[in-house]
Structure 1
Amino acid sequence: MSATTDNARERAGTVAADGAPVVEIRGLVKDFPVGGLLSRGRFRALGGIDLDVRRGEIMALVGESGSGKSTIARCVARLEQPTSGTLRVDGVDVLAAEPRRASRAYRAKVQMVFQDPFGSLNPAHRVEHFLTRALVLHGRATSASTLKRRLTELLDTVDLDHALLDAYPHELSGGQRQRVAIARALAVEPEVILADEPTSMLDVSVRIGILNLMRRLRDERGISLLYITHDLAAARYIADRTTVMFAGEVVEAGESTALMAGPAHPYTRLLLSAVPDPRRAGTFDPAERAALRAQVLGATTCPYAADGRCRDDAPVHHVVEPGWTVRCHRYRPHAEVARRALDVSGTATAQTA
């Protein structure tokens, strides 16, 4: 067993009990210009995101297309420059320390696996080129013998045959190409992997293999994963926690199993209604779901809002249970009761003291 593998497993054992966040996002805003070069129009893709990814956990980021999921990942990967907000990795304010572009050291900590494995692999090069380039650029292979051993280890880790080192991307299946992309990310021994819908372009029969691979990487190496998807079934299967995004905002976040079993926000319920579930009684009428979607997305008053309150007073995050928050006015009374209870408790404690 190599020293690299030993170090990875030691790190996994260390972070397994560490609940501290490795990625901390606070007030992240991203605006895109619209209307051409002379226009001052701006489109707000992210509206002040607060998000933590803990060490050794898989966090799923779910929502429809256009909700801002991939924009968050691209900001964390430093492929997009946020308009405002803070991004901390290992406690370091990255945007302040490296304002213009990410350093090579940061790239070694945070790696990204893209949605389209064929588009992210240059068709003119063989698999060996992709892995060798990552190893050499980041100083993970200083001799020919070390390089050969590391190439073998990477292919073993992602369950690929060693003969595929000589293959071109077009000679591989979609699942094999995605495994090569994951191996390339692993070559620099990252702490965080941003997986942007890594299974959406794969056959259903091979998706479970990629999901199991990512879970194994978390278990064996202690790598944190931000898993971006619109598939709530996959999120429930792979993720420890799930964050639901809608229109550039986080609307609900909590432990995956509990959140999927009893979603608090109407938008989360809408997303779950589209997931096939043989245990669900009866069927969900598509026309009813379309009407609910129009209501939740603002075409009419949300059926769960009182007197259209969301239009006049933006909801804030309320605690459903410890570790589970929802951005919805329906939970305001519960939050106010809890606040008053804390106030009374604090007053009683002060009087006793």
Structure 2
Amino acid sequence: MSTPVSARPATAALKTQDRTIDAAPALEVEGLVKDFHSGGLFSRAAVRALGGVDLAIRKGEIVALVGESGSGKSTLARCIARLEKPTAGRILLNGTDVLKRDRFQASREYRSQLQMVFQDPFGSLNPVHRIEHFLTRSLTLHGKAGTPAQLRTRLDELMTTVGLTPDMLNSYPHELSGGQRQRVAIARALAVEPEVILADEPTSMLDVSVRIGILNLMRQLRDEQGISMLYITHDLASARYLADRIAVMFAGELVEEGESLDLLANPAHPYTRLLVSAVPDPARTGSYDPHERAALRAAVMESASCAFDGDPEQRCSATEPVRHRVGDPANEHWVRCHLYRPPATAASHALSAEPLESAERPDTPPTDESRTENKASS
């Protein structure tokens, strides 16, 4: 069985190049399962979208959740946001199990602590309202509007925080660019002063030229306001640039997790290696091996690498893969795969409570060449 997040002690803060991340988790997910049902009334088949996901996000940390389309990333975010009801599992915000509280009575309080930024900046804003309406409504619903003078000051502050001018409050969504609309969506989320933001591919529908502005804004919010974020993406270049840690999702399960630079430099799961190999990298010029890539694809698609594939003759079908430590015992890099073989000089360790010393965070934004639709089918 996978290790519950709450059972993993955190005794020290995670240190990065220029800041320290609080060891206490802001958001924890334990054994989260989500089944979708299809068919008629008397023949309802269940499709498992999430298969026991464990994930923790520390206070002031950005975790990137990566994987191809259909792997379950957005379903996980919607379950955390309580837009979908999980089949099983726990969601803890600051140690409180939110699923034990009434969905409607607690929704306003919960959403004042956790907000979601959706993928489509063109569909998330009602075209008949001005920008001022969206921000004012959020402030009013959560009791943060104050007096008219205080409201005006707060609206101006929100627009300035996300890099927009206050005069844009009188604009309609169609008068703004895609990047500006996404900044409005982020401002709407910030209006309630949340502790956690779920960003579901916030840059995927934007032009390449404006993506870096949104990524830099998210970094600024993390560094200056200490907001925790779950950044959902299939773009490994942006995940490397933005996130402190990366979690890889395959077929509704987390198969690998680690500090961003370490995981991308030393991928252990066949699926992670396949994703990394799909990213154009000038440093790898001349080292591309089509035979190795074909072997990785086979390892991902064949039953030997996929848990619970229904073949009782395969070990991966009969038993759940355990977590293996990757690299140094003090590392937080782990992988769940029967095919993983640790070096002969290192044993496979359980997840340690020791903090992970982060490598230097890249300050260079992802280039046009490194920004790609990272799908295993590419």
C-alpha deviation, 1:333, in angstroms: 6.1
C-alpha deviation, 1:74, in angstroms: 0.5
- Contact kept, 8 Å, 2:134 with 2:188, in 1: the verdict is yes
Tell me what 1:310 maps to.
316
Match 1:328 to one of 313, 337, 342: 337
- Contact kept, 8 Å, 2:21 with 2:58, in 1: the verdict is no
Tell me what 2:244 maps to.
240
Tell me what 2:129 maps to.
125
Q: Which has the higher helix share?
A: 1
- Contact kept, 8 Å, 1:68 with 1:247, in 2: the verdict is yes
Tell me what 2:176 maps to.
172
1:286-305 paired onto structure 2 within 5 Å: 289=293, 292-298=296-302, 301-302=304-305
Tell me what 2:146 maps to.
142
C-alpha deviation, 1:332, in angstroms: 5.9
- Counterpart amino acid of 2:62? I
Verify: 1:160 aligned to 2:164, yes or no. Answer: yes
1:7-26 paired onto structure 2 within 5 Å: 16-26=20-30
Tell me what 1:106 maps to.
110
Kindly, what percent of the aligned residue pairs are identical?
67
- Contact kept, 8 Å, 1:320 with 1:331, in 2: the verdict is no
- Counterpart amino acid of 1:112? M
C-alpha deviation, 1:140, in angstroms: 1.2
C-alpha deviation, 1:312, in angstroms: 3.7
Tell me what 1:115 maps to.
119
List gaps (5 residues or longer) in structure 2.
Answer: 1-18, 307-312, 351-378
Tell me what 1:260 maps to.
264
Aligned length: 323
Tell me what 1:346 maps to.
none
Please give the alpha-carbon distance, in whole angstroms, between the structure 1 residues aligned to 2:199 and 2:332. 23
Please give the alpha-carbon distance, in whole angstroms, between the structure 2 residues aligned to 1:178 and 1:170. 12
- Contact kept, 8 Å, 2:29 with 2:90, in 1: the verdict is yes
More displaced 10-residue stretch of structure 1: 265-274 or 320-329: 320-329
- Counterpart amino acid of 1:56? G
- Counterpart amino acid of 1:318? H
Cα distance change, pair 295–329 in 1 and its aligned pair in 2 (3 A) = closer
Please give the alpha-carbon distance, in whole angstroms, between the structure 2 residues aligned to 1:124 and 1:268. 43
Please give the alpha-carbon distance, in whole angstroms, between the structure 2 residues aligned to 1:280 and 1:338. 30
- Contact kept, 8 Å, 2:65 with 2:233, in 1: the verdict is yes
Cα distance change, pair 301–86 in 1 and its aligned pair in 2 (3 A) = closer
- Contact kept, 8 Å, 1:78 with 1:102, in 2: the verdict is no
C-alpha deviation, 1:277, in angstroms: 0.8
More displaced 10-residue stretch of structure 1: 28-37 or 15-24: 15-24
For the residue of structure 2 that corresponds to 1:194, the secondary structure is: strand
Cα distance change, pair 143–247 in 1 and its aligned pair in 2 (3 A) = same
Match 1:73 to one of 52, 77, 85: 77
The one-character-per-residue Cα deviations of 1:122-161 (angstroms, maximum 9, x if unpaired) are 0111101001100111111111001100000000000112
Verify: 1:60 aligned to 2:64, yes or no. Answer: yes
C-alpha deviation, 1:309, in angstroms: 3.4
Verify: 1:213 aligned to 2:211, yes or no. Answer: no
C-alpha deviation, 1:337, in angstroms: 3.8
- Counterpart amino acid of 1:64? E
The one-character-per-residue Cα deviations of 1:264-308 (angstroms, maximum 9, x if unpaired) are 11100100111111111326467974664354123x6559xxx95
Please give the alpha-carbon distance, in whole angstroms, between the structure 1 residues aligned to 2:274 and 2:213. 28
- Contact kept, 8 Å, 2:21 with 2:61, in 1: the verdict is no
- Counterpart amino acid of 1:121? L
Please give the alpha-carbon distance, in whole angstroms, between the structure 2 residues aligned to 1:55 and 1:32. 31
The one-character-per-residue Cα deviations of 1:165-218 (angstroms, maximum 9, x if unpaired) are 111111110000000000000000000000000000000010000000000000
- Contact kept, 8 Å, 2:67 with 2:250, in 1: the verdict is yes
For the residue of structure 2 that corresponds to 1:253, the secondary structure is: strand
Cα distance change, pair 339–50 in 1 and its aligned pair in 2 (3 A) = closer
Verify: 1:34 aligned to 2:69, yes or no. Answer: no
Please give the alpha-carbon distance, in whole angstroms, between the structure 2 residues aligned to 1:73 and 1:334. 35
- Contact kept, 8 Å, 1:45 with 1:68, in 2: the verdict is yes
- Contact kept, 8 Å, 1:78 with 1:101, in 2: the verdict is no
Tell me what 1:319 maps to.
325
Tell me what 1:271 maps to.
275
The one-character-per-residue Cα deviations of 1:15-73 (angstroms, maximum 9, x if unpaired) are 95521111111110000001244432000000000100110000000001111111111
**Structure-2-length-normalised TM-score:** 0.80
- Contact kept, 8 Å, 1:24 with 1:88, in 2: the verdict is yes
Tell me what 1:189 maps to.
193
Cα distance change, pair 287–164 in 1 and its aligned pair in 2 (3 A) = farther
RMSD: 2.5
- Contact kept, 8 Å, 2:304 with 2:315, in 1: the verdict is no
- Counterpart amino acid of 1:159? G
